[in-house]
Amino acid sequence: MTAETQAALSLRGVRKSFGPVIAVAGIDLDIAAGKICGLIGPNGSGKSTLFDCCTGLVRPTAGQVLAGTTDITGWEMARIAREERLLRSFQKAVVFRALTAEENLILAGQMTAFRSLAATFSLGPLAHRRVQALRARAGELLERVGLAHMRHSKAGEMSFGQQKLLQFASMLMPEPRTILLDEPFAGINPVLIERIVENIRAVNREQGVTFVIVEHNIDVLSDLSHRLVVLSRGSILADGNPEDVIRDPRVVEAYLAG
């Protein structure tokens, strides 16, 4: 990659096996900074495991993961989020159900700002001022994703789609550089899908945040992505501009066979 197209995330021979199961079979991939990259593949092709390897949830069996030029292989998830601003969402909406929408966002901002949970919950004057700033940012983000009216609602009382929007907003709290989204549109209605799509586009365009998005909704994903990468059985099967990739006979066959 040239200096103009710096990689936000690079995988070098990344491999992950669970006993005899090879989930990720040695992947080399550079994700260009400031772009939206879609990642598709049949069930079980290794997409989520690849995200897990990039974000410290599992340690690759072999290979390296770089955020920019920093080798983050083996780092813990919290350190990757805090120091590299590399964040990810999960297939299920992960929110703190007993907390309000606003509290969820404040907590997301705190967790990546401090080194320990004790510091997160300390109540000194500095921490107090910091919470005020986080509250203001939480308000802006709730407005941005169209959840301002639910600011004081408990996350557990929100619909699944609203929880996914809240999870998306949580990832914007720590001013991310790179966001990995695992099935952000699964199980939610078309209106909320459109709202998430618009927000991804806006955050990418205005703040230059890099996105890698795993999604089974290929129509929405190809329209949104600058590039589409296809995984099959833990390896890259196709990679290129979305229009070409979805017409590639090998990709069509992998889906029919998968």
Ligand X SMILES: Nc1ncnc2c1ncn2[C@@H]1O[C@H](COP(=O)(O)OP(=O)(O)OP(=O)(O)O)[C@@H](O)[C@H]1O
Name the site residues for Mg ion (rule: CB under 5 A). 48
Q: Letter for the amino acid at 100?
A: T
Q: If contact means CB under 5 to 8 A according to the sort of partner, which of Mg ion, ligand X, none does residue 195 touch? A: none
Q: Which C-beta is closer to ligand X: that of 84 or that of 182? A: 182
Whole-number minimum distance, CB 137 to ligand X, in Å?
31
Per partner kind, with CB cut-offs from 5 to 8 A, the member of ligand X, Mg ion, none near residue 23 is ligand X
Q: Which does 117 bind (CB under 5 to 8 A by kind): Mg ion, ligand X, none?
A: none
Q: Tell which residue, 210, 219, 221, has the closest CA to residue 39.
A: 221
Three-state DSSP class for residue 167: helix
Shortest CB 230 distance to ligand X, Å: 11
- Measured CA to CA, the distance from residue 110 to residue 114 in angstroms comes to 6
Burial class (CB in 10 A: 0-12, 13-18, 19+), 155: buried
Least distance to ligand X, CB of residue 24, Å = 7
CB of 59 to ligand X, least distance (A): 12
Pick the closer one to ligand X by CB: 102 or 182: 182
List contacts with ligand X (CB under 6 A): 18, 21, 23, 41, 43-49
Nearest-angstrom CA–CA distance, 63 and 24: 11
Angle of CA points 44, 46, 49, to nearest 5°:
120
Between 44 and 68, name the residue whose CB sits nearer to ligand X.
44
Q: For residues 31 and 10, what is the distance between their CA atoms, to the nearest angstrom?
A: 6
From the list Mg ion, ligand X, none, partner contacted by residue 49 (C-beta under 5 to 8 A by kind): ligand X
